[in-house]
Structure 1
Amino acid sequence: MKKMMIVGLTLVAGLSLAACSSEQSSQNELEKIKEKGTIVVATSPDYAPFEFQTLVDGKNKIVGADILLAKKFADELGVKLEVSPMNFDNVLNSVQSGKADIAIAGLSYSEDRAKVFDFTNVYNSADNVLLVKSDTVNDYAKNADLASKKLAVQKGTIQEVYANENLTDSSVISLTVLGEAINELKNGKVDAILLDAAVAEGYAAQNPDLAVSTMTFEEAQNDGKVVAMPKDSPELKEALDKIIKEVVDAGAYDSYLEEVSKYTVVE
């Protein structure tokens, strides 16, 4: 009788666990976020003004326009915000593995990425430019001017893909952290960096020895900044797109950029 009772209890427990597991697996990404009460955002805080580290009351703090957007998401969804910092080349992997719910890291849409992730609508436009030493700013006008030059890009970015495919006469150097690329440029170890215009302008503003070249990369321009989430997340995408529309229509993202301009970047 005791054995029968134990077997019966085991079966009941097993069925309960199976039911819970089934319920969890049937939840969509938006429901999962709301149930746990937290949205985990993967980011790479070395990309001012989008996301970067600064000192607030003597302590390191991650700030940026993207972080303010993430806070807007959390507030509108009624959950807490948890920012998970990491190197840029790990940001998307974190979403794919389920360690983060979404990624906000100055990300640009690409067809290859869209095969693996869902993306929101664009929340900020983006151009690619060349950051160089101030005394060489007039040396670059066309792709041929980068021949035999050492060109730095951040690993995992669309700039890295573009450089490897289109600037084959250059020596493309992929670096994990953008701050490292900036130091390499200032020390003369690389000749230029290909990156987002807003980021380049921010570094140029804080470093008189650096400047943004007038050279353009029309074929390298992208459709703008987007938020990444797990593939097949229509409910989460719809919710975030609604918030993004409100932000864009109100011009709030430009206000975010202006708000974070008061902070000094800490490498």
Structure 2
Amino acid sequence: MQLKTVLKGVGILALGLALTACGSSSAGSTPEAIKEKGKLVVATSPDYAPFEFQTLIDGKNQVVGADISLAQDIADELGVELEVSTMSFDNVLTSVAGGKADLALAGLSKTPEREEVVTFSDSYYENGRVLLVRAEDKESLKDLESFKGKKVAAQKGTLEEQLAKEQVASAELVSLQAMGEAINELVAGKVDAVAIDEAVALGYVSQNNKLAISEAALKTQETVGTAVAMQKDNKELQEVVNKVIAKVKKDGSYDKYLEEASKYTVVEE
């Protein structure tokens, strides 16, 4: 069984983005500097549907998803082009902190540890963290104690990895580079569960009846939310981003972005 993503409507989320390697450089990340260079460079890890993922459109690789649509809204607010810089998740914050990208949108959870090195926007999305299991194991893996001796996968550098390590300590934690790899390991029976964002899990479950969400949810602080990261103390850019976030939350745009993107994650046998 192989995991892939499929876009069923070319015009819905394709934003004509320029994809770059993570070596892109930025002279400055204030709104004025971004306008001067004419582009907003956004770092992301495109393996986390429905937030950000890759697909082929007209034979070209494109990064799409709810976070990418939000990034386009921010670029539009600034009146510049959007440039998406793709990299592994554990390099996303480093890219922003080092000035190689202006923003990071990668399903990032706002945590005190991360706030020590970057500045976050207001939260634009709040959701739970769950354990995705094979449907055949749902009844036997109903609480955290039942995962004793099991293998639980998580993406490296994520909040889910930290939560699994702390709350499912009796299980063996398997840290993997990409979420797609973790899902494939679960489907293949090489791990027993994947610690994952609830919205992402729902997308996989809706497309594959062999997967299910365990009743054993992971607990998070109420203050933890998904937010946009930028260089430390970049208050001017934070103000612009927060303005856009307030708008998409009020008019329901981000929820629509998620709903549209959720349709495009397909697990093929």
Q: Provide the TM-score with structure 2 as the length reference.
A: 0.85
Q: CA deviation at 1:139?
A: 1.7
What percentage of aligned pairs have identical amino acids?
Answer: 53
Matches of 1:137 and 1:52, distance apart in 2 = 27
Matches of 1:265 and 1:222, distance apart in 2 = 32
**What secondary structure, in the 3-state scheme, does the structure 1 residue paired with 2:153 have?**
strand
Relative to structure 1, the CA distance from residue 134 to residue 125 in structure 2 (aligned partners, 3 Å threshold; closer, same or farther) is same
Relative to structure 1, the CA distance from residue 266 to residue 80 in structure 2 (aligned partners, 3 Å threshold; closer, same or farther) is farther
Aligned length: 243
Deviations 1:100-159 (A, max 9, x none): 111000000100000111000011112101100110012222221111110000000011
Q: CA deviation at 1:97?
A: 1.4
What amino acid is aligned across from residue 250 of structure 2 in structure 1?
D
**What secondary structure, in the 3-state scheme, does the structure 1 residue paired with 2:230 have?**
strand
* 8 A contact 1:128–1:221 mirrored in 2: no
* 8 A contact 1:127–1:222 mirrored in 2: no
- Corresponding residue of 2:198: 197
Structure 2: gaps of 5 or more residues: 1-25
Matches of 2:264 and 2:192, distance apart in 1 = 28
- Corresponding residue of 1:179: 180
Relative to structure 1, the CA distance from residue 113 to residue 254 in structure 2 (aligned partners, 3 Å threshold; closer, same or farther) is same
Residue 146 (structure 1) aligned with residue 147 (structure 2)? yes
Deviations 1:192-232 (A, max 9, x none): 00110010111122222111112222346662210000001
Q: CA deviation at 1:161?
A: 1.4
* 8 A contact 1:102–1:229 mirrored in 2: yes
**What secondary structure, in the 3-state scheme, does the structure 1 residue paired with 2:139 have?**
helix
Task: Name the structure with the higher helix share.
Answer: 1
* 8 A contact 1:160–1:174 mirrored in 2: yes
- Larger mean CA deviation between 162-171 and 102-111 belongs to 162-171
Aligned ranges for residues 221-240 of structure 1 at < 5 Å?
223-240=224-241
- Larger mean CA deviation between 27-36 and 246-255 belongs to 27-36
* 8 A contact 2:129–2:220 mirrored in 1: no
**What secondary structure, in the 3-state scheme, does the structure 1 residue paired with 2:125 have?**
coil
Q: CA deviation at 1:176?
A: 0.5
* 8 A contact 1:162–1:220 mirrored in 2: no
Matches of 1:132 and 1:173, distance apart in 2 = 14
What amino acid is aligned across from residue 34 of structure 2 in structure 1?
I
* 8 A contact 2:160–2:196 mirrored in 1: yes
* 8 A contact 1:42–1:94 mirrored in 2: yes
**What secondary structure, in the 3-state scheme, does the structure 2 residue paired with 1:195 have?**
strand
Moved over 6 A (4+): none
**What secondary structure, in the 3-state scheme, does the structure 1 residue paired with 2:55 have?**
strand
- Corresponding residue of 1:247: 248
Structure 1: gaps of 5 or more residues: 1-23
- Corresponding residue of 2:4: none
- Corresponding residue of 2:125: 124
- Corresponding residue of 1:161: 162
Relative to structure 1, the CA distance from residue 265 to residue 141 in structure 2 (aligned partners, 3 Å threshold; closer, same or farther) is closer
Matches of 1:134 and 1:164, distance apart in 2 = 23
Relative to structure 1, the CA distance from residue 262 to residue 194 in structure 2 (aligned partners, 3 Å threshold; closer, same or farther) is closer
What amino acid is aligned across from residue 183 of structure 2 in structure 1?
I
Q: Which has the larger radius of gyration?
A: 1
What amino acid is aligned across from residue 194 of structure 1 in structure 2?
A
**What secondary structure, in the 3-state scheme, does the structure 2 residue paired with 1:218 have?**
coil
- Corresponding residue of 2:31: 30
Q: Cα RMSD (Å) of the superposition?
A: 2.0
- Corresponding residue of 2:9: none
**What secondary structure, in the 3-state scheme, does the structure 2 residue paired with 1:241 have?**
helix
Q: CA deviation at 1:166?
A: 2.9
**What secondary structure, in the 3-state scheme, does the structure 2 residue paired with 1:66 have?**
helix
Q: CA deviation at 1:96?
A: 1.2
Matches of 1:94 and 1:30, distance apart in 2 = 18
Residue 108 (structure 1) aligned with residue 114 (structure 2)? no
* 8 A contact 1:40–1:82 mirrored in 2: yes
